Structure 1
Amino acid sequence: MSQRDFMILERIIPLISLELLKAKTRHEVESEFKEGVLSQIIDGRVGREEDVAHQGRKFGWNFSVGYLLIVVELEHPDLMRLGYTTDTVTAKLALFLKTYPALMSIVFRRSERVIVFCHFDRLKPGDAEAIKAEALRLAVRMARWLRSLLSQEAARSQGNDRFSFFVGIGRYYDRLRDVHRSYKEALKAIAASRAMGRVNGVLHYDDLGVYRLLFQAENRDELRALYQETIGKLMENETAGEELVRTLERWFQHNGRLRDAARALYIHPNTLKYRLGRIEKLTGLRLDNSEDRLMLQLGLKIHSLFPFLSK
């Protein structure tokens, strides 16, 4: 290169750098604005729906239709080491969802969560069962895709990295101002998934069973009181308490069948009998009484949700 070429480059490079900086700044400002609009919706801070719909149209979003939310909660420290931030997963998931037929989706991240607004073009808004079934199909495909993506990255790193995530689905809502309820429902589904140990799985809010009643309880103090009357008494000695809680869980899982529960716990049936006796003595509840058994089962459910209920 001639000296003249170098002189031209010296003048052009700062200009190119400036344009790139401007483009990056514009992108960051636009991303922040998008996130602000979507956060408004999921936080239940929608004022005039027309105003939010107008803001959404700037980005090609249609808020004149209803949505349900699917939330993916990522949980693994090695994601960063492998160069996989939540932003990266969000961008890749947005591309993946473009291949799903008749789906209108908006994808963004909040902390370690990837949030997906979903509207299924071919389904009638009033057909709740069809919408739920389609949402489950989509979420299962998302979970399968995510497992594949993360396991490929782990294999490429030649390490023993393991990744975990939880997928929760909320209900469909016609009105924009109600969509925040779908977000809260999806988070409750994730909390229940954690409590049930459903790692890398999918759960719809409607399928929470008794957990749904516990989440809907307005008086959390009553739930804590029920916990203290049951499992709380076992947990007064934390080490021994965990063993008794695990014993009680297995006993219920095997419908009170002593030998099956003992086999699952890798203990002798007589040891199981002793532990069940300890549980009855500490709680003052009898396992041969249906009302007492129900109390203990509810106590176990609350125990598994306690981190969530304590917030």
Structure 2
Amino acid sequence: MSDTTAATERPASDGPAMEVRFRGGGFAPQSRRWVGVAVFVALVALVEWGTRAGWISPLTLPRPSDVFGTFVELWNSGLLFKHLGPSLSRLAVGAALGASAGVLLGVLIGLFSYVRAGLVPLVAAIFPIPKIALLPLFVIWFGIDEGSKYALIAFGTFTPTVVATYGAVDNVDRSLIRMGQSFGLSWLSIVRKIVLPGAMPGILSGLRISLAIAIILLVAAEMLGAEYGIGAYILQAGSLYDLERLFAGVVILSLLGVIVSAAIAQIERRVLGWRT
């Protein structure tokens, strides 16, 4: 009996064929941006209500409305850009130096055994050192001006980027490399077409952590010998116990972190589109 005949003689009790929903999404995350916005708005509203009701002391948390008013004053007076401009410059230069050097060295460690044998113990030795503790040393070496701030941010960005990069290179699927070798690809082609694209998700994840560390070190560096900068602004507000100004500076840092994370996410969408 043919398959067609068997299909036509199917019992009527089976009922009509039902469409089965495809469930092969591979745990792909779905965008739910409104959830994060709703949580943030609810938290701010809760703090505002708590400070106005009196069960949150104004000496502990200022009203979010007062913090927003301080932020508006900073914007209108031009002080926001006087503090934000130097901070962005220091962050961009220091993070670019540290991240680029970290990615380059991490790739070399992942590809060459002699480089790995010589530098992995050194990286493992300096990685746990609190980078803020090295700020006085950098001041002695590079002076109290911009050089020490660039050096601290670059060094703090460098070490986690190295660790993330050579770990990402190690995690590239070796069967893909063997496949490239079997097709006669050169060593440089395998690195460019297989190793680097396969390691890119881990590298970008490491950059997220490295840039967050860079923002923390930026604040620490600006609290020493800086007239303008978000860190200097927060230090001035803290010394005067001006909570509104203090929290306004913290909000600026938080927004800066969100912008950096969003920029990394855009790079991931463009560079890692092959994963979808």
Normalised-by-shorter TM-score class: under 0.3
More helix per residue: 1 or 2? 2
- Normalising by the residue count of structure 2, what TM-score does the alignment of the two structures yield? 0.26
More strand per residue: 1 or 2? 1
- Normalising by the residue count of structure 1, what TM-score does the alignment of the two structures yield? 0.24
Higher RCO (C-alpha 8 Å, min separation 6) = 2
